[in-house]
Structure 1
Amino acid sequence: MTELLPLFVNIFLKIFIILTPFFVLSAFLSLTKDESQSDRQKIARKVTLAVVVICFTLFLFGSYIFSLFGITLDAFRIGAGAILFLSAVSMIQGKAAVSAQAGKEDIAVVPLAIPITVGPGTIGALLVMGANYNNLTEKVIASAALLCAVLAVGGLLFVAGRLEKIIGQQGLTILTKLTGLFVSALAAQIFFTGLKNFLSL
């Protein structure tokens, strides 16, 4: 039991950071600036549900996707790490912006769930992480951590209006850039793990 808790915390933190919660929060506030508080909360619930479905599909069936296309895990690590790193650089440079005009109809799934919360880099990271855990116990712990991480991001969106008043737009920008730094470190780890294993074959 003592070994499972660190695994849970480790996976939770990784996925929470990879989901770029503060960039998502900033985009959410921008896209819902004309909505009432109750409408924002409805959209937040839809986003959370959509992200849960998308993330679990990728996380649980990643190994089957690799087998279907004949892609090795290490080759995918290299590609996913590179894409995730580019996403991190965009956040740090402040270029990962979103237009307030996007999605006039239902913005919960597109663009908020995909590609803002679950972008190409996040998809790659989830596929790699899901393929890493073959043991049933580890898979259950990882799934619980994934669910908690997504719910944590959803919780931030649910109280987005209050957070905006507390930390302001400048505070969100700073937190987004800090998140980008952590994401770049995770991306480098994924990339170089794949490269090391690929070269040792």
Structure 2
Amino acid sequence: MEFTPAITDVLKFFITLISIVNPIGAIPVFLGFVRNHNSINVKKLANHTATAVTITILISLICGQAVLNFFGISVASFTIGGGILLTTTAFSMISGQQSNSKINNDEIRSIDFEREIGIIPLAIPLLSGPGAISTSIIHAKNFTSSIHWIAGIVMVLVVGLIIKIILSYAEKIGEKLGQIGLNVMTRIMGLILLSMSIEMIAYGIKEIMPILKGVF
């Protein structure tokens, strides 16, 4: 009886996470770095990026609640704030723009060393930025059993594997999809993310004001 609700929670976490990470949308930026640094080994860079993203999200998932408790921040308040952040990111994705909450042009221009770009800015903040971190912390609240945690960690590893595969074949994917295809995929992910962010905000509000639970 515990198995099905746990899997549902984890699947929601996975869908939200893969939407906010949006590795397809990161392909143009990734290729931009590769083209500017001809000596880069694409698959090695993809592996470093995926590993850094996985570690960042796992730390957020496991330790995020303790950080909130340390600062005296309720999960409900953080859920509302995270939902608002994801909403702004979703709107940027729907409009086909790169959200500045993930990375901006000044940060892109500041990269001087090839060995750094796999971690900064590709992993942080482009892929595992504030949205991915807050998503991990918020969903960890619903992880109340060993099934939750095991499946949740497996999903994070799956996300890392997906990132590695997509970035390893970024040039081929980019050629197949083209700019229009990449934009369409980004907008679809943005719509999914927007819907989930609204759910998060509504949940947070109902937690802060329990009286609304009987209304909605």
Work out whether the TM-score is over 0.5. yes
Match of 1:103 among 111, 125, 128: 111
Task: Indicate yes or no: 2:200 matched with 1:190.
Answer: yes
Measure, in 1, the Cα distance between the counterparts of 2:68 and 2:128. 19
* Equivalent residues of 1:59, 1:131 under 8 A apart: no
* Equivalent residues of 2:27, 2:174 under 8 A apart: no
Task: Indicate yes or no: 2:124 matched with 1:124.
Answer: no
Letter in structure 1 aligned against 2:66: Y
Q: How many residues align?
A: 201
1:135-150 alignment runs, 5 A limit: 135-150=145-160
Tell me the equivalent position of 2:69: 67
Any stretches of 5+ residues in structure 2 without a counterpart?
212-216
User: How far is 1:37 from its partner?
Assistant: 8.9
Tell me the equivalent position of 2:26: 24
For the residue of structure 2 that corresponds to 1:23, the secondary structure is coil
Segment drifting more, 11-20 vs 153-162: 11-20
1:141-180 alignment runs, 5 A limit: 141-180=151-190
Measure, in 1, the Cα distance between the counterparts of 2:84 and 2:3. 34
Cα pair distance change 1:62/1:2, threshold 3 Å: closer
Letter in structure 2 aligned against 1:16: I
For the residue of structure 1 that corresponds to 2:119, the secondary structure is helix
Q: What CA deviation, in whole Å up to 9, does each residue of 1:63-116 have, x standing for no partner?
A: 111111111110100000001111111122233165464523121111111111
User: How far is 1:187 from its partner?
Assistant: 1.0
Q: What CA deviation, in whole Å up to 9, does each residue of 1:112-140 have, x standing for no partner?
A: 11111012122111110122212122111
TM-score of the two chains, using structure 1 as the length reference: 0.90
TM-score of the two chains, using structure 2 as the length reference: 0.84
Q: What CA deviation, in whole Å up to 9, does each residue of 1:133-171 have, x standing for no partner?
A: 121221111111121122112211111011011111221
Segment drifting more, 53-62 vs 33-42: 33-42
Measure, in 1, the Cα distance between the counterparts of 2:65 and 2:208. 17
Letter in structure 1 aligned against 2:112: K
Task: Indicate yes or no: 2:85 matched with 1:83.
Answer: yes
Measure, in 2, the Cα distance between the counterparts of 1:9 and 1:126. 13
Match of 1:114 among 103, 108, 124: 124
Cα pair distance change 1:166/1:36, threshold 3 Å: farther
Segment drifting more, 87-96 vs 51-60: 87-96
Letter in structure 2 aligned against 1:42: K
Measure, in 2, the Cα distance between the counterparts of 1:6 and 1:128. 15
Any stretches of 5+ residues in structure 1 without a counterpart?
none
Segment drifting more, 74-83 vs 161-170: 161-170
Identity %: 23
Tell me the equivalent position of 1:133: 143
For the residue of structure 1 that corresponds to 2:68, the secondary structure is helix
CA RMSD of aligned residues (A): 2.2
Q: What CA deviation, in whole Å up to 9, does each residue of 1:12-31 have, x standing for no partner?
A: 32321121222222221222
Measure, in 1, the Cα distance between the counterparts of 2:40 and 2:130. 30
Measure, in 2, the Cα distance between the counterparts of 1:76 and 1:54. 18
